[in-house]
Chains A and B, each alone.
Chain A
Amino acid sequence: MHDVILSTVSTLKEGLLSKKYSSVELTTEYLDRIATIDTSTNSFITVCEEEALRQAARADELIKQGKAGVLTGIPYANKDIFCTKNIRTTCGSKMLDNFIAPYNATVVEKCMDAGMVMLGKTNMDEFAMGSSNETSYYGRANNPWDLTRVSGGSSGGSAAAIAARLAPLATGSDTGGSIRQPSAFCGISGLKPTYGRVSRYGMIAFGSSLDQGGPMAHCVEDLALLLSVIAGHDHKDSTSNKRGPEDFSRHLNKSIKSKVIGIPKEYFSNNLNPEIQIIIDEAIKHIEKLGAKIKDVSLPSTSLVVPTYYVLASAECSSNMSRYDGVRFGHRCEDPNSIDDLYERSRAEGFGDEVKRRILMGTYALSSGYYDAYYEKAQKIRRLVKNDYISVFKDVDFLIGPTCPSIAFHAETFAHDPVQMYLSDVYTVSANLAGLPSLSLPAGFTQGMPVGMQITGNYFKESELLSLGHAYQTNTDWHNRYTTEKLGR
């Protein structure tokens, strides 16, 4: 049974269909692993043993009746940013520590309809604000490759869970890199789809024009399977694209010969860590050998993307966080003596430091006298970023670079320097600003830690993106590496 955890989802699927094991047995295996290993990784906030086994039993019934879909009976985990009906949904925050959602996020609903088995809700930076999973009210998630290092954020719990083989699939969300960066730090594969591809209904909002939910797994093949379930138009989300669900596995094996890969020169400046540079260069050479053409390109707006992103994200978040006021749900302070006291203390108690900082900065960026210089300015630069991409995609099909400027750092490295932490998002934020799909894949190791390669595609070209990623993974082995040695199982 133990080998099961090293399999791809297709293999698991075959196992279920050929009755090698049942979904209940498979689910139990994962639940047992979580019970023993997760004390070290802290990747789950809530584990749903009873509910998972119930779902697994139901899945087994469907399989028996021959009514199974592609992912029926496959266990998975949901980032705790997705509302799950009747199950605690905390968003990594004390503010929602007691919040039982009365409905399912569309993403969750789709996974349920597909017969998937939810193991639990994974750890994350509070309200998705952070790049290390250290701002979580429930403690940080630890990187399975080195427990003294962070798993990345904000989808750190999902990344660590996949890396530690506590779940074969997980959902994450990405506003400035929150799927891709933890994927890179933990040596797994993660995709941020095109903005509007996956419904945001029920996915607790941080930066509404930047947020996008997406799949996380060991390999691209598995990402495609999960994306096929969760993507598609949702009438409950006005920003949801009209495109319906697609089968993203269909063209996975399509050849990448004659595809053109752009290498943005700004991503390979003198500041890039040389060890990472070497790994990415290798990966690019590999892709070239598979038949793709390589071209140097430029994204001039790169030097401004991080401050631009932080202004927009903080501004939107400052407004999105206003509903957490202690009035209707969520944390409420004791014995408020006036309405303002109720607001001010509930929010001061319920929110952590990073969230408060961003709310204050966002409020500043929108306030009268500053709106033009900050919020509107950032929106203008956002258009420049988008224009850069539109221009570059006239000549290339994909852009490749490192996902992060460093490997996973040790915990507390940026405890007193939020700006330094923000700067580490330099490669990931542009895809959110422009709304483009972007993938992170394991591309190598340095100092014993995984290094991720980021591939960004054109609007709604997830299929092509995944087939490039799949071609790379068919010819390399990084995504199959595993940390048993560190975790002991």
Chain B
Amino acid sequence: MSISSKNVEEMARLARISINSKDIPSYCEQLSKILNFMNEMQSIDTDTIEPLAHPIEEINATRADVVTEADTRQNAHQYANHMLDNFYTVPQVID
């Protein structure tokens, strides 16, 4: 089992990470090794086993319907990127 350059390109597209075409072969190689290693899982039969999503099955953590956050713009200047009139901005998106 291996990861092809097509796989790498698809994953990179889904994950929105640009990859230089010259780096694709090394990604293929490394990711294929990792995939082979992950494939060791197939050596065991788990057909009758229920998946485990949470290690400790805590149930029902909820909060009351109360507004607890006010003035959320207070610290934005410390971390915010590219704000204009209190809006975050990105290059124009055309739908």
A and B touch in the complex (CB under 8 A): yes
Chain A residues within CB distance 8 Å of chain B: 86, 98-103, 194-196, 209-210, 235, 238-242, 303-304, 306-308, 310-311, 318, 322, 325-330, 332, 336-345, 347-348, 351, 356-357, 359-361, 363-365, 367, 373-374, 376-384, 386, 418-419, 422, 432-435, 459
B82 touches A379 (CB 8 A): no
**Shortest CB distance B25–A (Å):** 14
Whether B15 lies near A434 (C-beta < 8 A) is no
Q: When the two chains form their complex, are residues B11 and A363 in contact, meaning their CB atoms are under 8 A apart?
A: yes
Q: Are A380 and B50 in contact (CB under 8 A)?
A: yes
Main secondary structure of the interface of A (DSSP, over half): helix
Closest CB-CB distance, B48 to chain A, in whole Å? 9
Cα distance A318–B44 in the bound complex, in angstroms = 25
B38 touches A374 (CB 8 A): yes
In whole angstroms, how far apart are the Cα atoms of A307 and B42 in the complex? 10
How long is the Cα–Cα vector from A86 to B78 in the complex, in angstroms? 8
Q: Which 7 A-B pairs have the closest CB atoms?
A: A435-B55, A379-B51, A102-B75, A344-B18, A343-B16, A380-B46, A383-B52
B 65-89 to A, binary, CB cutoff 8 A, 1 in contact else 0: 0000000001110111110000010
Complex CA gap A345/B80 in Å reads 18
Taking the closest CB of chain A, its distance from the CB of B21, in whole angstroms, is: 13
- When A318-B15, A357-B31, A380-B46 are in contact, do A327 and B88 touch as well, CB less than 8 Å? yes
Q: Which residues of A contact B22 (CB under 8 A)?
A: none
A327 CB contacts on chain B under 8 angstroms: 81, 88, 90
Nearest opposing residue in chain B for A86, CB measure: B78
Smallest CB separation, A327 vs chain B (Å): 6
Complex Cα distance A190/B4, Å? 41
Contact in complex: A329, B80 (CB < 8 Å): yes
Mark B5-44 against chain A: 1 for CB-CB distance below 8 A, else 0.
0011011101111110000000100110111011111111
Q: Is there an interface contact between A361 and B80, defined as CB atoms closer than 8 Å?
A: no
Whole-angstrom CA separation of A306 from B34 in the bound complex: 11
* Residue on A nearest B61 in the bound complex, by CB: A238
Cα distance, A101 to B46, chains bound together (Å): 43
Check B56–A359 contact: CB distance below 8 A. no
Q: Do B81 and A419 have beta carbons less than 8 Å apart?
A: no
CB contacts (< 8 Å) of A378 on chain B: these are 41
Residues in B neighbouring A240, C-beta threshold 8 A: 58, 61
CB of A386, distance to nearest CB on chain B (Å): 6
Give A311's nearest chain B residue, CB to CB: B38
Which of B27, B37, B76 is within 8 Å of A360, CB to CB? B27
Task: Say whether, besides A345-B18, A360-B8, A383-B49, A307 and B61 are in contact (CB < 8 Å).
Answer: no
* A348 pairs with B49, CB closer than 8 A: no
Contact B11 A239 (CB under 8 A): no
Is B81 a contact partner of A330 (Cβ separation < 8 A)? yes
Assuming A347-B17, A356-B17, A360-B8, is B34 touching A379 (CB within 8 A)? no
If the complex has contacts A363-B11, A418-B30, are A308 and B41 also in contact, measured as CB distance less than 8 A? yes
**Residue contact A325 to B16, C-beta cutoff 8 Å:** yes
> What is the bound-complex CA distance between A340 and B94, given in angstroms?
12
In angstroms, Cα B13 to Cα A341, docked, is 11
Q: Determine whether the beta carbon of B52 is less than 8 Å from that of A364.
A: no
Shortest Cβ distance from residue B30 to the other chain A in the assembled complex, whole angstroms: 6
- Offer 24 A-B interface pairs, CB within 8 angstroms, sorted by A: A86-B78, A102-B76, A102-B78, A210-B55, A238-B61, A307-B37, A307-B39, A318-B15, A325-B16, A326-B81, A328-B88, A329-B81, A342-B90, A344-B16, A345-B18, A351-B17, A356-B17, A364-B11, A374-B38, A386-B55, A418-B30, A419-B33, A434-B55, A435-B56
Taking the closest CB of chain B, its distance from the CB of A76, in whole angstroms, is 24
B31 to chain A, nearest CB (A): 6
Does B55 lie within 8 Å of A195, measured CB to CB? yes
Known: A328-B79, A367-B10. 18 other contacts (CB 8 A): A195-B56, A307-B38, A328-B81, A328-B88, A336-B91, A338-B91, A344-B17, A359-B17, A360-B15, A360-B17, A363-B11, A364-B7, A374-B38, A376-B51, A382-B51, A382-B55, A422-B37, A434-B55
CA distance A341 to B16 in the complex (A): 9
Question: Which residue of chain B has the shortest Cβ distance to A242 in the bound complex?
Answer: B58
State whether B40 touches A364 (Cβ < 8 A): no
Instruction: Say how far B89's CB is from chain A's closest CB, in angstroms.
Output: 9
CA distance A378 to B15 in the complex (A): 21
Contact assessment for B37 and A419 in the assembled complex, using a CB-CB cutoff below 8 Å: yes
CA distance A9 to B24 in the complex (A): 51
Q: Is the CB of B15 within 8 A of A382?
A: no
Q: Check if B37 sits within 8 Å of A377, measured CB to CB.
A: no
Question: If the complex has contacts A101-B79, A329-B81, are A239 and B30 also in contact, measured as CB distance less than 8 A?
Answer: no
When chains A and B are docked, how far (Å) is the Cα of A371 from the Cα of B56?
Answer: 23
